């Protein structure tokens, strides 16, 4: 099973990244799924979505959890039965989770040209340092999207805007530490994020 990367952030925080090379039938072996999850998988039209769903359950198993330990609230945010915090992400050939005793957020995305078509939806403050003419423009956009998505999952606050309420400070490297901010209602916080380059994919995670 291709567990691509394991990151032990601290004693109580772990990040798992899975590179999906198996098919859904192989991934479904040796998994204890609830009837609801079985029904959900069977209803998925996309094979890659089924694979991502099952990979996440395999990574949960590494942490000692079974499918029944995971549930979602009315906003779609995942939770664990024992009260620990979890964040989940999946994009094409990769899936990832972060588990911690603190609130967390994680996102992984594939670098694709279509991101340039939604710049106005999520780029605000960052326009002061982004240059569309630079060859790494799409990479920087993808990294910013990942970082903002991670913050969005961390706060899980209705009405939070990627463009208006979340900021990512200027950065040079395509891998390393990013600094983000959230300014929305009573939230005024700065957060460090870790940004990872996985070839054509980028991942960012943050811990409160």
The CATH number assigned to the domain holding 140 equals: 3.90.470.20
pLDDT at 76: 86
Same domain, 121 and 96: no
- How far is 38 from 51, CA to CA, in rounded Å? 13
Nearest C-alpha neighbor of 167 from the set 128, 200, 207, 109? 128
For every one of its 208 residues, what pLDDT tens digit does the chain have, with 9 covering 90 and above? 589 999 999 999 999 999 999 999 999 988 999 999 999 999 999 999 999 999 999 999 999 999 999 999 988 899 999 999 999 999 999 999 999 999 999 999 999 999 999 999 999 999 999 999 999 999 999 999 999 999 999 998 888 999 999 999 999 876 789 999 999 888 899 999 999 999 999 999 999 8
Global confidence as pTM: 0.94
Structural domain total, the chain = 2
Same domain, 94 and 156: no
Same domain, 12 and 74: yes
Residue ending a domain, among 83, 101, 119, is: 101
Question: Are 75 and 158 within 8 A, CB to CB?
Answer: yes
Same domain, 126 and 203: yes
Strand positions, DSSP E, the chain: 3-10, 13-19, 70-72, 78-80, 85-91, 94-100, 104-110, 166-168, 176-184, 187-198, 201-207
Element (H, E) at 144: helix 137-155
Residue ending a domain, among 73, 101, 129, is: 101
Same domain, 70 and 118: no
Residue ending a domain, among 76, 101, 126, is: 101
Domain span holding position 56:
3-101
Same domain, 63 and 114: no
Same domain, 127 and 198: yes
Same domain, 88 and 157: no
């Amino acid at each position: 099973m291709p567990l691509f990367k394991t990151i032990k952030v601290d004693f109580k925080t772990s990040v798992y990244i899975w590179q999906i090379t198996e098919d859904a039938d192989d991934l479904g072996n040796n998994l204890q799924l609830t009837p609801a999850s079985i029904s959900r998988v069977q209803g998925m039209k996309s094979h890659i979505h089924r694979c991502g769903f099952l990979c996440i359950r395999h990574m949960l198993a590494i942490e000692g959890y079974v499918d029944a330990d995971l549930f979602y609230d009315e906003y779609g945010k995942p939770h664990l039965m024992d009260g620990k915090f979890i964040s989940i992400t999946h994009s094409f050939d990769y899936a990832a989770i972060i588990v911690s005793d603190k609130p967390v957020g994680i996102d992984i995305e594939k670098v694709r040209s279509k991101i340039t078509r939604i710049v106005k939806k999520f780029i605000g403050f960052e326009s002061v340092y982004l240059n569309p003419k630079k060859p790494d423009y799409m990479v920087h956009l993808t990294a910013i999207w990942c970082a903002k998505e991670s913050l969005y999952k961390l706060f899980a606050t209705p009405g939070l805007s990627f463009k208006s309420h979340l900021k990512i400070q200027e950065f040079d490297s395509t891998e390393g530490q990013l600094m983000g901010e959230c300014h929305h209602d009573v939230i005024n916080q700065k957060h460090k994020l870790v940004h990872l380059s996985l070839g054509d994919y980028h991942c960012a995670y943050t811990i409160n």
